[in-house]
Structure 1
Amino acid sequence: MINRRNFLKNVGLTGSLLTMPAALLNAKSLTAAKTNIDLSAITLRGKVQCEGKGVAGVPVTDGINITLTDKNGLYELVSNATAEFVYISVPAGYAFPEHKSIAAFYKPISKNNYKNDFNLEKLKVDDRKHTFVVWADPQMKSKKDVELLISQSVPDLQAVIKSYPADTLIHGIGCGDLVWDEFELFEDYKHAVEMCGIPFFNVIGNHDMDNEARTDDKSANTFKQQFGPTYYSYNRGELHYIVLDDVFFLGVAKKYIGYITENQLQWLEQDLALVKPGTTIILSLHIPTFTGAGRRSGKNEDELGGTVANRQQLYKMLAPFKVHIMSGHTHFNDNWEQDDIMEHNHGTVCGAWWTGPICGDGTPSGYGVYEVNGSDIKWHYKSTGQAKDRQLRIYPKGRIKDAPDELAVNVWNWDKKWKVEWFEDGVSKGPMEQRVAYDPWAFELYAGPLLPKVRKFVEPVLTDHMFFAKPSPDAKKITVKVTDRFGNVYEETV
C-alpha cells in the first residue's frame, strides 16, 4: 500500500513537471536558487540486513514518504535534497541499534552518498515481554543539576534494571527537555544514559530547541545533530512505538505552542497504514496532548503552550488502535483516559527543576516504569530513592491550614480505576473524598515569591489526586488503603 502510494506521488510529481510551461520551471529554479533551497530529486538506496541476509518488509523513510524493503532487504526511495535523514522503523524481533545507549536507527543523508545500509541483530529472547521506562524532563541547567542526575536518578534506574532477570529487554524514552537550553549539557545527558546501560529513544522538548532560529523549521538543528530525527517509529513485540515533535517554535526565544505539523501528520498516516488496527501503540511526545490543568484552574481553554492545539486531528488518526500517550513538560503527574486512548503525563526526573524533592503537585521526582506482556501493559510510578511500593503520602490532621480537622492523602499516579479507602481504628469508613487541591508539602516548599530559594518561579499546582477524610476526635489510628487498577494494594498508617 505504501509503495503504491509513493509510486503515485512520484508519478504525479513527474507528470506535473512534464506538463509545466518552461517559463514556470525556470521561475521555480530561480526561486530555489535565491532562497538557497535545493529541491532537486534524489534517490535513496540501500539494504537492511541481519548477518548479511536481507530483511524484508522493513519500513524505510526520509521523514516524508515511507517504503518497504523487498524480499532481499533492498529499498529505493525517491526523495529530495531537503531530506536530512534516511531511517528505519526497527522491526519486532530485532535489537535496537544504538551508539553508547542512544538509539541509532538513522543515517544522515550526505550529498556525496545516497546509499545507506542498516545492520540489524536478531534478539535471542521473545520480545513480546519487555519493559520500558519514561524519563520526562531531566532538564539540566548547570553542572550542579548534572551532579544530581548522576548521583540520584542514574543509580535509581540502575537498581530498577538490576531488579529484573538479566535477559530482560528494557529500553528508555527520554521524553523531552533533556537539558534546559544549555546544549553543552547534552553530552552529560548522554553520559547519564550510557551509565544506565539500556538503549534510549529521545523526544525533543521546548528547552531542547534552538532559540536563535527564525522559524520552527530550523529550531531542531542542534537536537538533530545529537539524536537524529524528531519523529519516527519502532517496534517491539506486539507493540508499535511512535515519537512525535509537538513543540512548534514561534521564532521568538522561548515562545512556542503545542502543535503537530502537517508534514508529521502526513508521515504518520503512512506509518499507521502499516499497523494492524487494534494494535497497541505507545506514542511519545513532550507537550501533553491534554491534561486536567485548565479545568482545575477554572479556565475554559488550555494554554497554547500547555497542550497540543490540533490534538483532535491526532486522536482521529489513532482511533483504530489502543493507544498510550507518554508526555512530560508540565512537571506534574496526570492521567486521563477516554475510549481507547490513555495519556500518562509524567512527573519529572528533575522534580521542581532540581530545586526540591517533589513536583508542584506533590509527586516525587521520578519516572514511569511500564511492563509489557503481549499487548497487556502494567505500570507504576517509580519515585527516585524510594521503594517501588511507595505510591502515596499521608498528611495528618493539622497539616492543611484551611481544613485543620481533616486528614489528606496524595496518590500521585491515581487514575479513575484506582480505589482510595480509609479505616479508623480498624473500622472501614469507605472511600475518601476526592477534591481538587494543593499538596500541603508542595505549598509549604514553593508557594510565594520568595520560595524556593534556588528557582523562585516554581509554584504549587492544583491536582486531582488529593483525597480527604475527617477522623473522629478520639481516633487513635488511621489507615489508608489504596488499590491500583491492577489490584496492587498499598497501605500507610498514621
Structure 2
Amino acid sequence: MSQKRRTFLKSLGLAGFGLTLSTDLLQAKPAVPAKGKDLSVISIKGRVQAQGKGLAGVAVSDGINVTQTDAKGNYELASNATADFVRVSVPRGYAFTNDKGIARFYKKIEPANGRFRADFELEKLQQDDSKHNFIVWADPQMISEADAEQLKTVSAPDTQQLVKSYGPDALFHGFGCGDLVWDKFELFDDYKEAVSTTSIPFFQVIGNHDMDLDARTDDLSARTFKELFGPTYYSFNRGEVHYVVLDDVFFIGVSKKYIGYITEQQLAWLEQDLALVKPGTTVVVNLHIPAYTRQHIRSNEKEESMGGVVANRKELYRLLSPYKAHIMSGHTHFNEKIVTGDNLVEHVHGTVCGAWWTGPICYDGTPNGYGVYEVTGGEVKWYYKSVGHPKQHQMRVYPVGAVPEMPQQLAVNVWNWDPAWKVEWLEDGKRMGEMQRQTGLDPLSVELHLGAQKPAKHKWVEPHSTDHLFFAKPSAAAQRITIQVTDRFNTVFKEEVDMKELSRL
C-alpha cells in the first residue's frame, strides 16, 4: 500500500482494513437514497366569512399565488407541496385574530390526498377603522434573561401606557420589526410575553438574529420563526391603508452571514398582492434590514454594507411607485428618515434595546424606544417615543464644546429629524434663526460607548456618526437658550436651558 493511500485511509479511520476495503465503501453511498424535492400538486380550497356570511373580494395566498374570494366568500388555489401556509389578507373593517397578541392570519398547509381546506372566520369591528394607530418595535434583540426582564418590565409597560393614553376606543396594532431575539430561541417566549403585556395585536418580521443558523440555505433558515409566528411575508388591511411584511434577510449558508435581499418569489407575490390595491393608496411595508440608509456616506465608506441595505431595492421601489409608500425597518440601532419625492418615506428606527441593552440610548444618541404612527384615512403622522420619557421628549441639548470639533457651539440631537423639520434657537428670548446641521458623534454616546472598555456589557459597541446633530454659537453673555423644533406636522417641541447649569453637565 502506498504511503499516500495509507494516509488517506487513516484519515477515514479505515487503515486497519488494508487493501480488502471495497470501492463501494469508499464511495460512501447513503444508506437511504436522497429524496427529490416534492412538487406534487395540492388543491387548496376554503371560505372566508364573518358571522356565517361569506366575504367577497378578500385576498388569499399560499405565498406563491394570490386569489380573491368569490361573492359567497369561497376561494380556490392550485398550489404545490413547496407552499407552507395559506394566509388571508384581512380586509378593512375586521379585527386581527390573535393569540395573546400574536397575530394569527394563516393556516399551516397539511394536505391529505393532494387536498387541503383552510377556512377563515373573521370578526367585524364595531367601529370605523379609517382612524387607527400602529407602533414599530425594532430589535428587542434579547440574549439573556436580564435583557428579557428589561423588555418585559420596562419597554412593554411603557408601550401599554402609551396605548392607554389614546383612550379605550383607539385602534392599535404593532410590528415586531425583526431581531426579536439574539439567536437565543428560548427567549421567544419572553418576547411573546412582552407582546401580551401591551394589550395590542402584533405582526412579526423576521430578522437576521431570528434565523436558524444551522440551515444549509436561506430556504430553510426560517424554520423556527415559522413554527412560532407563521409566514415571513404577507399582507393585511386596516382602514384605507394596505400593510405588507417582507423577509429581506437572505442567509448565505454560513453562521451569522447574510445579505439584504428580497427573493424573486416574494417580489412575484408582492406584484400580485399590489395589483389588487388601487394606485394612490397608502402602502406601509415592514422589513428588517433597511431598503436604504446613508450610513456608509456618514462613515466615509466607499460602498454600502451588503448586510446593511437591500441590494435589489430598486425593484421594490418600482412596485411601490404607484402608491404613497412608507418603508419601516430596524436592524441598524440608529434612527434615520429618508424622504424620496412625494411618494416614499423610509423610516429606519432606533431600537427598543438601544445599544443592545447596554444603557439608555442607541449608538447615535437616539433613546431606546419605538415609532408611533397615527393614521387618518390615507394620511400618516408619526413621532418617536422614548422609553421612560413623555412623548414630547424629542431632543437632547449639550453644552458648548461638548462636540470637540465645534468647540464654541452648543449641540442638539434631534433624533427623528427629516428635511421638513425646522430647528431654531433663541438667546435670552431673541430669535437667532435656524441651527446648523452637521454630521458628528453624539456626546452621550461618546461618553457611554467610546473606547475598548466601554460599555462593559458589550465592549464592541462604539458611537456612530449621525446627521441629526444641530449647532449654534451663543454669545458670551447668554443666560438662557431656547431650542424650538417644529416637525413636518407643525408640532412644536421646546427645550429651555440655563447656560450656567448646562455648562456643568
Superposition pairs of residues 37-436 of structure 1, within 5 angstroms: 37-112=37-112, 114-339=116-341, 340-436=343-439
Residue aligning to 1:6: none
Who is 1:19 aligned against? Answer: none
| Shift in Å, 1:143 | 0.4
- Segments of 5+ residues of structure 2 without an aligned counterpart are 1-32, 498-505
Report the equivalent of 2:467. 464
Which residue in 2 is equivalent to 1:438? 441
Instruction: Tell me the alpha carbon deviations over residues 230-269 of structure 1, each in whole angstroms, 9 at most, x when there is no partner.
Output: 0000000000000000000010000000000000000001
Specify the SS of the correspondent of 2:116.
coil
Per-residue deviation at 1:195? 1.2
Secondary structure in 2 matching 1:47: strand
C-alpha deviations, 1:78-136, integer Å up to 9, x for none? 00011111111000010011111111000001133611110000000000000000000
Do the aligned residues in 1 keep the contact of 2:42 with 2:111 (CA within 8 Å)?
Answer: no
Q: After superposition, give the CA deviation of every residue in 1:135-176 in whole Å (9 maximum; x if it has no partner).
A: 000000000001111111011001111101211110001100
Deviation per residue, 1:150-209 (Å, 9 max, x gap):
111011001111101211110001100000000011111001101111100000000000
TM-score under structure 1 normalisation?
0.92
Equivalence for 1:13: none
| C-alpha distance after superposition, 1:322-356 (max 9, x if no partner) | 10110000000000011211000000000000011
Q: Distance in 2 between matches of 1:432 and 1:152?
A: 34
Q: Identity over the aligned pairs, expressed in percent?
A: 61
Deviation at 1:34, TM superposition (A): 4.1
**Which residue pairs with 2:488 in the alignment?**
485
Q: What's the offset of the Cα at 1:450?
A: 1.1
Deviations 1:16-65 (A, max 9, x none): xxxxxxxxxxxxxxxxx844421110100111110111111111110000
Higher Cα Rg: structure 1 or 2?
A: 2
Matches of 2:61 and 2:403, distance apart in 1:
55
Q: Alignment partner of 1:114: what SS?
A: strand
Q: Amino acid of the residue matched to residue 58 of structure 1? A: V
- Following TM superposition, by how much is the alpha carbon of 1:404 offset from its aligned partner in structure 2, in angstroms? 2.8
After TM superposition, the runs of 4+ consecutive aligned structure 1 residues lying more than 2 A away are 33-36, 398-404
Distance across 1 between alignment mates of 2:319 and 2:376: 25
Matches of 1:336 and 1:77 in 2, distance apart? 39
Amino acid at match of 2:287: L
Secondary structure, in 3 states, of the residue corresponding to 1:423? Answer: strand
* 1:17 corresponding residue in structure 2: none
State the superposition RMSD in angstroms. Answer: 1.0
Separation of aligned partners in 2, 1:150 and 1:40: 44
- What is the CA deviation profile of residues 356-378 of structure 1, one whole-angstrom value per residue up to 9, with x for unaligned ones? 10001000000000000001111
By how many angstroms is 1:295 displaced? 1.2
Query: Match of 1:43, as an amino acid?
Result: S
How many residue pairs end up in the alignment?
A: 462
Counterpart code for 1:244: L
Q: Could you tell me which amino acid in structure 1 is paired with residue 80 of structure 2?
A: N
One-letter amino acid of the counterpart of residue 98, structure 2: E
3-state SS of paired residue (1:461):
coil
